Structure 1
Amino acid sequence: MTLTMAWVRKVDATEEMIIASDSRLRACGSWDAAPKIVPLPRGDVAIAFSGETEYAYPMMLQVLNAINFHDGALSRRQPLAVLKGHLLRVINLMLDHYEEPPTGVEKPVTFFLLAGYDWTDSRFKIWTLHFDKSIGAFTFRPASPWRGDGNDEKLLSIISDEEDEARQAVLATLRTADGIRPGPFNMEPMQALASMIDSEKFDSIGGHIQMVKIYRAMQCVPFTIERNGTRSLLGRPLLPYEKSERIPTLPLAY
């Protein structure tokens, strides 16, 4: 499957959305260079997946097309919450055209994270799009905040077959001698993701970390990740001559 997370990071007055994932696909073997996060062309949102790629990749490509060829969606005239509804209908339309599923398959085991910045109320938002067997279609649920002390909120969404383990890994990064550290997230979910990629316990999670950031300026920016002596971009190791002044680099020491 995979491990994909989206969270709001806040340091002092700086607030941004981070979406990060591993890069492993498993079917006939292990493939550790797969893109799982797709920045969408309107700039204020990205989509990421976990689960069965035979559903996820065609659906994400048609989501991309739905935005590229719809002026209201591409120009951001269509607010993020309205876009979410439109993309959900596109995904369900795709599902309606899927015929002759394998014997015994009752539902797609595929999850999407749709995360971005909503200009209508100046807030970062995350939705999980998932298949609901009771209605026979994909639906959505918004991310629920993890509350810290006082009025602080930690906003994080995880899609994975190892979701419980991932939440425990995040909690471990927040734990101090006085309990769970209050306040919003910094890079703790990224540390948890790195630890699970490195662990031999999780066969479905591995490869290279991939990450995008979404800013209040409504820019979605992919990052080159520099870790363990390797540079990678959206899950693929870069060739020695591949460099870009346009793509920022994030060195990770963990």
Structure 2
Amino acid sequence: MTLAMAWVRKGAGGVDELVTVSDSRLNGGGRNFDCVPKILPLKRNDSIICFAGETDFAYPLMLQLSLAIEGHFPAVSRAVDMTKIAGFTIRTFNQMLKEIDPYVKGQHVPKTEFILAGYSWQQKSFKIWRVIYNKGVNLFELKPCSVWHGPFKSIAFAGDWAREAEKQLYRLMTDRYGDIRILKEGCLDMEPFEVLRNILRAGKRHDTVGGAPQMVKVYCYPNARPVGIFWPDRAAERVYLLGRQLLLEEKNIDFWQLNPDTLDVEHPLHSRTATGAGAA
């Protein structure tokens, strides 16, 4: 399965940004494949879709959605707002469900879910939805994410480790800030990433999550950019981008790279380092 999270945080200069993270493992048939991209930036460049669950359902749905957006100029140019893309996503997925021909009983049920998120230029804010399958009506449904525990802005969890991750996030926030339910104001920073990092570092070979963490940020300019992760730590000198270890000839790739412990970021093409909880 997967652990994926998407949330709104305060970025550099106090400006909101959207962060999506995931593990990188697919497993089954007695093997782990730990370099699989699970977060797909959509061609509009203001949004992402991320999956958890069975890949044979998830990948065709995600890729067809991406191709549909790319092929429709009002959608790819962002003339169509992100809130309309959310409805288009559901219609696309449900139309594709009709093409499934289950010649083995029960094989028509998608055991997968998605996080869809992006920036709405009409509402001037980030939007996060969970896309889940409703077995009773044999349709995908859209579930908007609301605030999380008092003043914190919305966060979505997906995957079989979602409940455990939410428990760990609540404990981490409570340890740092006290009773977060009574705070008058607050904003998640990089704490969800810290939870994912800790789960992956403590992981075992037979766990359903594993590999390096992967991250994509969406900024309100708008722009969607993957972030490289030094893994398992900065000292290892290995950078992973969307779950894959970069080759030596990719050392000057044009992406920010995150230290998973200090949360500082650096860029191989620039001399400066941005400090403070993933500041880039």
| TM-score, scaled to structure 1 | 0.93
Deviation per CA, 1:198-247, whole angstroms, max 9, x where unpaired? 22367101101100000010100111111222210001111122134421
Match of 2:248 among 223, 240, 248: 240
Kept in 1, the 8 Å contact 2:229–2:241? The answer is yes
1:1-254 aligned at under 5 Å gives the runs: 1-10=1-10, 13-28=14-29, 29-100=31-102, 102-105=104-107, 107-148=109-150, 152-176=151-175, 179-181=178-180, 182=183, 183-200=186-203, 203-228=207-232, 229=236, 230-253=238-261
CA distance in 2, matches of 1:188, 1:179: 15
Q: Is the 8 A contact 1:227 1:253 kept in 2?
A: no
> Does the CA-based 8 Å contact 2:38-2:51 persist in structure 1?
yes
Change (3 A) 1:146 1:70: same
Matched position secondary structure for 1:158: strand
Return the offset for 1:62. 0.2
Cα distance, 1:66 vs structure 2: 0.5
Equivalent position SS for 1:78:
coil
Aligned equivalents of 2:245, 2:176: Cα separation in 1: 38
CA contact (8 A) 2:6 2:157 kept: yes
- Alpha carbon RMSD of aligned pairs, Å? 1.7
Give ranges in structure 1 of 5+ residues lacking alignment.
Answer: none
Return the TM-score normalized by structure 2: 0.85
CA contact (8 A) 1:44 1:219 kept: yes
Percent pairwise identity = 37
SS at structure 2 position matched to 1:176: helix
Maintained 8 Å contact 1:222/1:234 = yes
Distance 1:102 1:37 in 2: 30
SS in 1 for 2:56: helix
C-alpha separation in 2, matches of 1:165 and 1:83: 30
Amino acid at match of 2:224: C
Deviates more, 1:173-182 or 1:195-204: 173-182
Q: Moved runs in structure 1, 4+ residues, more than 3 A?
A: 101-106
Q: How many residues align?
A: 251
Could you tell me which runs of 5 or more consecutive residues in structure 2 were left unpaired when the two chains were aligned.
263-280
2:81 and 2:176 map into 1 onto residues whose CA distance is: 43
Which of structures 1 and 2 has the larger relative contact order (alpha carbons within 8 angstroms, sep 6+)?
1
